[in-house]
């Protein structure tokens, strides 16, 4: 079975390719390498460099390969950046997905697993956040992910396309052998920034606000290990292949950790001091985001293995120590 992974050179996409190949799938990767890394692409995958908005390019890939299913990770994904350049996000994420769906329809490819986001919810009214909660995105990034979900819904109705939308909470960690991991420029995510500070590459961690209504005043997030996250994608693919209809699932661990707790856990694991100072809140940060993840467990049979915070941090630390300057 041949699976097309769009964005297979990125942090999450490269872990998907790795696990698909381990599970004996035949894998085709498309990536424009704008934020992805050629070194992250698995040697057993067939790679086509190009942009999903380039329809003739994408048609050529579908002509050459017999695609049985699609995993779609190709998108811009920074909340803050999306507030500055929203049109760039609508173009790359929404228009890019439109072109992809047009080509899938043209070639009668029916199954797609899609990277959505907890950012589709906005500020939660109740915790943990259920899949049935209202969607009120507070950033263009979250809005694009919701629009992409809606495009899939209407393509299902019109063309019988089947999709699983997976709403990620905070993805962290790296493959346990430390060979692939997170490498963003610039880096904006909490755990890599903490670990770069531990390596002495940054002077200090800046904690964005300690006056939230949480026990220690810093924001609480739900961290899910990238390997567990990808396991859910493969289960979603199998779920669609078994003939099940379109569905939406949260992917989180249902456990919340504060910024301060993450920092202290990283200090213990790395044995480094990791200087930190508190600064102003970052615009658009909700105080607490924790997923209800029972639906993925009961419907997909998802059983995350690496739910304890030390394993998440240790795997990321191994990657950072082995690749202090990324790929």
Active site residues: 141
Among 234, 259, 292, 316, contact with ligand UDP (rule: CB under 6 A) = 259
Q: How many CB atoms lie within 10 A of CB 302?
A: 21
- Name which of 109 and 219 has its Cβ closer to ligand UDP: 219
Positions 43 through 102 that interact with ligand UDP (CB under 6 A)? 79
# binding residues, ligand UDP (CB under 6 A):
15
Residue 120 touching ligand UDP (CB under 6 A): no
Q: Binding string to ligand UDP for residues 162 to 181, with x set by CB under 6 A, is what? A: --------x-----------
**184 binds ligand UDP, rule: CB under 6 A:** no
User: Does residue 219 interact with ligand UDP by CB under 6 A?
Assistant: yes
Is the Cβ of residue 153 or residue 189 nearer to ligand UDP in the bound state?
189
The yes or no reply on residue 208 touching ligand UDP (CB under 6 A) is yes
**Out of 61, 207, 235, 300, which residue is the one contacting ligand UDP (CB under 6 A)?**
207
Binding site for ligand UDP (CB under 6 A): 79, 170, 188-190, 193, 205-208, 219, 221, 259, 282, 285
């Amino acid at each position: 079975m041949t699976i097309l992974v769009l964005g297979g050179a990125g942090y999450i996409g490269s872990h998907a390719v790795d696990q698909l190949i381990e599970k004996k799938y035949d894998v085709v990767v498309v990536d424009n390498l704008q934020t992805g890394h050629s070194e992250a692409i698995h040697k057993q995958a067939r790679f086509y460099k190009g942009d999903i908005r380039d329809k003739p390019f994408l048609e050529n890939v579908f002509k050459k390969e017999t695609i049985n299913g699609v995993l779609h990770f190709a998108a811009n994904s920074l909340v803050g950046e999306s507030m500055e350049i929203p049109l760039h996000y609508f173009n790359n994420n929404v228009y890019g997905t439109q072109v992809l769906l047009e080509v899938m329809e043209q070639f009668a490819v029916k199954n797609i697993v899609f990277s959505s986001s907890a950012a589709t919810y906005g500020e939660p009214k109740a915790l943990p956040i259920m899949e049935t909660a209202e969607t009120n995105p507070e950033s263009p990034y979250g809005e694009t992910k919701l629009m992409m979900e809606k495009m899939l819904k209407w393509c299902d109705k019109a063309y019988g396309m089947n999709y699983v939308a997976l709403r990620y909470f905070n993805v962290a960690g790296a493959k346990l052998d430390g060979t692939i991991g997170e490498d963003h420029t610039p880096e904006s995510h909490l755990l890599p920034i903490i670990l770069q500070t531990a390596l002495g590459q940054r002077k200090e961690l800046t904690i964005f606000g300690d006056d939230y209504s949480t026990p220690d005043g810093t924001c609480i997030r739900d961290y899910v290990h990238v390997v567990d996250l990808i396991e859910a994608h493969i289960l979603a693919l199998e779920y669609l292949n078994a003939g099940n209809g379109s569905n939406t699932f949260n992917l989180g661990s249902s456990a919340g950790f504060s910024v301060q707790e993450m920092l202290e856990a990283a200090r213990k694991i790395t044995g480094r001091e990791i200087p930190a100072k508190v600064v102003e809140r970052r615009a658009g940060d909700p105080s607490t985001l924790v997923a209800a993840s029972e639906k993925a467990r009961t419907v997909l049979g998802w059983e995350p293995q690496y739910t304890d915070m030390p394993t998440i941090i240790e795997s990321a630390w191994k990657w950072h120590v082995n690749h202090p300057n990324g790929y």
